[in-house]
């Protein structure tokens, strides 16, 4: 079996004196897509934020390629892409400016490559329009264009299908499968039905977690 990209060991998280999950352990292998599932409020967003280093209210161990994330935080952050359930784009900036800002601090990417990514998400002709003038789905597509220029092997995607039409959902499903086929791994939360062959499932809530296929 290949070495897991990410391992969680005995994660516990408490919010407002309520235990969201405890003794939560799982391994994310390269080449996999895993859907984090559970009812509203079961902790899906919280778990992804913990994995992305955006929430400190937890105990347990996280390992990246076998080494504690805490000791290799920069390397982990370089290899991980997190897209949250809000598009996280700036309404006064154009799609091109937003995508440039999303890549800041990462590797340099030319404007023509950024434009190509925007065109790949159906935003041809909107590259220089302020995002506040775009529809909800188009704004989401600006954030999703990030996936088309992502070289990070691990993707953490929280409700990124929101406001996306069926063609767009199918295109994103293709990107997730492609990342897995390239040896990466994807964790995704969504209330949409996903039909990805071989998809793993992490079930939160109802007092525990299972990993099923």
Contacts to ligand ATP by CB under 6 A: 15-16, 20, 38, 40-46
Question: In whole angstroms, how close is the CB of 60 to ligand ATP at the nearest point?
Answer: 16
Question: In whole angstroms, how close is the CB of 17 to ligand ATP at the nearest point?
Answer: 10
User: In this complex, which beta carbon is closest to ligand ATP, that of residue 118 or of residue 160?
Assistant: 160
User: In this complex, which beta carbon is closest to ligand ATP, that of residue 126 or of residue 161?
Assistant: 161
Question: Would strands 6-15 and 154-158 be described as parallel, antiparallel, or unpaired?
Answer: unpaired
User: In this complex, which beta carbon is closest to ligand ATP, that of residue 19 or of residue 124?
Assistant: 19
Question: In whole angstroms, how close is the CB of 146 to ligand ATP at the nearest point?
Answer: 21
Question: In whole angstroms, how close is the CB of 147 to ligand ATP at the nearest point?
Answer: 20
Rounded Cα distance, 12 and 192, in Å = 27
User: In this complex, which beta carbon is closest to ligand ATP, that of residue 42 or of residue 138?
Assistant: 42
User: In this complex, which beta carbon is closest to ligand ATP, that of residue 15 or of residue 132?
Assistant: 15
Question: In whole angstroms, how close is the CB of 41 to ligand ATP at the nearest point?
Answer: 4
Residue 62: name the closest of 3, 4, 7, 5 by CA.
Answer: 7
User: In this complex, which beta carbon is closest to ligand ATP, that of residue 45 or of residue 119?
Assistant: 45
Question: In whole angstroms, how close is the CB of 211 to ligand ATP at the nearest point?
Answer: 17
């Amino acid at each position: 079996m290949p070495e897991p990209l990410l391992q969680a060991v005995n994660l516990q998280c408490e919010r407002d004196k309520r235990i969201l999950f405890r003794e939560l352990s799982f391994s994310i292998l390269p080449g996999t897509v895993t859907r984090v599932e559970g009812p509203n409020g079961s902790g899906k967003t919280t778990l992804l934020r913990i994995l992305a280093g955006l929430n400190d209210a937890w105990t347990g161990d996280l390992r990246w390629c076998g080494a504690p994330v805490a000791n290799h935080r920069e390397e982990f952050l370089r290899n991980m892409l997190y897209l949250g359930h809000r598009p996280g784009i700036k309404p006064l900036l154009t799609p091109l400016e937003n995508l440039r800002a999303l890549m800041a601090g990462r590797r340099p990417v030319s404007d023509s490559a950024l434009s190509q990514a925007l065109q790949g998400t159906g935003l041809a002709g909107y590259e220089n329009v302020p995002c506040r003038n775009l529809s909800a789905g188009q704004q989401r597509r600006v954030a999703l264009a990030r996936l088309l220029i992502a070289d990070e092997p691990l993707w953490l995607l929280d409700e990124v299908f929101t406001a996306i039409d069926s063609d767009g959902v199918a295109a994103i499903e293709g990107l997730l499968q492609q990342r897995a086929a390239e040896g990466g791994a994807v964790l995704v939360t969504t209330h949409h039905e996903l039909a990805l062959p071989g998809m793993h499932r992490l079930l939160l809530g109802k007092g525990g977690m299972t990993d099923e296929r």
